[in-house]
Amino acid sequence: MTNILFAAGPELWADYETPLRRALDATGLDYTLGCDAAPETVDYIVYAPGSKLQDFAPYTRLKAVMNLWAGVEKITGNPTLTAPLTRMVDDEGLTQGMVEYVTGHVLRHHLGMDAHIVNPEHAWEPNVPHLSRERPVTVLGLGALGQACAGMLAHLGFPVTGWSRTEKQVERVTCFHGDDGLSRALADAQIVVLLLPDTPATRNLLDADRLARLPWGAVIVNPGRGPLIDDDALLAALDAGQIAHATLDTFRTEPLPADHPFWAHPKVTVTPHIASETRVDSAARVIAANIRRGEDGEPLLHLVDRDAGY
């Protein structure tokens, strides 16, 4: 018998119970699933960062904790968690949503859509947009989400550069890695998309110095994590014109406080952490398939590297 504890909270339980049971039934596993269980009996925990469960020490036979979100910065530092931790990678749901968000917001800036959508003076100003091949885009982070977004942008004709921690080869994407590679990745980027995790190594990555290395008038799209950008440096770069616009989906404090200057800034678009959400049905299938792998002695997919923090 495989005992699975759903510790992601009562609201998500209401959404997930049926899809999870359906997905687990399809694996043929003999299992129990619920929101309550004696800790020493639990094999797997389905988890979300806001969970009340913070002390994993009593879960003595735990085989893995499976996070429902892609971001794991709120759990990687938990010293009581010694079992493997997996994060959400879901091509059908989470990744597809992010590809749509990133493509939409890149195209908005590339095509200069705002000038026509908000045109109270009814100005007839025929500024014909560039073609995508004339607009270099850089994607910082070439993981599950970054690679999918870079691939779609390359498919649309943008010259795409990507940057990661370790060396990567991605079809139709010019790849750089490591500290040295960052300067090269930023040098030509007219639009920068951030799809990095929040780790000690990525915090304040886009600071005043790095923002200044971007071409004049570059655009930032950040569905990654708020701490990747130094807020004050970004505001200064926007005011100076170095950065023409920032579309931000993630923030250091969420919800973004009502008095935060991003809300009122004319060159900032705030979206409320909606770039992409875990989709229940496909995520339930990902979790069930990974539990099945664990029970069959196969390596778990989407394992978090606790030392690297993602």
Ligand X SMILES: NC(=O)c1ccc[n+]([C@@H]2O[C@H](COP(=O)([O-])OP(=O)(O)OC[C@H]3O[C@@H](n4cnc5c(N)ncnc54)[C@H](OP(=O)(O)O)[C@@H]3O)[C@@H](O)[C@H]2O)c1
Catalytic (active-site) positions: 225, 273
In whole angstroms, what is the distance from residue 204 CA to residue 218 CA? 18
Residue 145 touching ligand X (CB under 6 A): yes
Residue 225 touching ligand X (CB under 6 A): yes
Q: Which of residues 2-41 bind ligand X (CB under 6 A)?
A: none
Least distance to ligand X from the beta carbon of 261, Å? Answer: 21
Q: Identify residue 281 by its one-letter amino acid code.
A: D
3-class SS of residue 250? coil
Least distance to ligand X from the beta carbon of 201, Å? Answer: 4
**Measured between alpha carbons, how far is residue 52 from residues 45, 56, 77, 92 in Å?**
13, 11, 16, 29
From the list 4-12, 210-218, 222-230, 238-246, the region that binds ligand X by CB under 6 A is 222-230
Q: Taking phi first (over 0 means left), then psi (-120 to 50 degrees means alpha), and beta for anything else, what does residue 236 get?
A: alpha
Question: How far from the centroid of its chain's Cα atoms is residue 201's Cα?
Answer: 16
From the list 57-65, 105-113, 157-165, 286-294, the region that binds ligand X by CB under 6 A is 157-165
Beta bridge partners of 243: 218
By CB atoms closer than 10 A (0-12, 13-18, 19+), residue 289 is middle
In whole angstroms, what is the distance from residue 285 CA to residue 20 CA? 7
In whole angstroms, what is the distance from residue 127 CA to residue 142 CA? 33
Give the nearer residue to ligand X in terms of CB position, either 136 or 224. Answer: 224
9, 39, 112, 143: which one binds ligand X (CB under 6 A): 143
Residue 201 touching ligand X (CB under 6 A): yes
Residue 142 touching ligand X (CB under 6 A): yes
Which residue minimizes CB distance to ligand X? Answer: 143
From the list 8-16, 47-55, 221-229, 253-261, the region that binds ligand X by CB under 6 A is 221-229
66, 70, 160, 221: which one binds ligand X (CB under 6 A): 70
Residue 146 touching ligand X (CB under 6 A): yes
Do 140 and 194 touch, CB atoms closer than 8 A? yes
In whole angstroms, what is the distance from residue 4 CA to residue 34 CA? 7
Give the nearer residue to ligand X in terms of CB position, either 51 or 247. Answer: 247
3, 67, 190, 199: which one binds ligand X (CB under 6 A): 199
Q: Between 100 and 139, how does the x/- string for binding to ligand X read (CB under 6 A)?
A: ----------------------------------------
> What are the residues whose beta carbons fall under 8 Å from the beta carbon of 42, sequence distance 6 or more?
3, 4, 5, 59, 61, 62
Give the nearer residue to ligand X in terms of CB position, either 18 or 204. Answer: 204
Largest pairwise CA distance in the chain: 70
Number of residues that bind ligand X (CB under 6 A): 31
In whole angstroms, what is the distance from residue 90 CA to residue 94 CA? 5
223, 226, 227, 294: which one binds ligand X (CB under 6 A): 223
Residue 141 touching ligand X (CB under 6 A): yes
Q: Between 264 and 283, how does the x/- string for binding to ligand X read (CB under 6 A)?
A: ---------x-xx-------
Structure tokens that stand for 15 in this block:
């959404």
Residue 165 touching ligand X (CB under 6 A): yes
By CB atoms closer than 10 A (0-12, 13-18, 19+), residue 38 is exposed
Q: Which residues of the chain form contacts with ligand X (CB under 6 A)?
A: 70-71, 89, 94, 141-146, 163-166, 168, 195-199, 201-202, 223-225, 249-250, 273, 275-276, 310
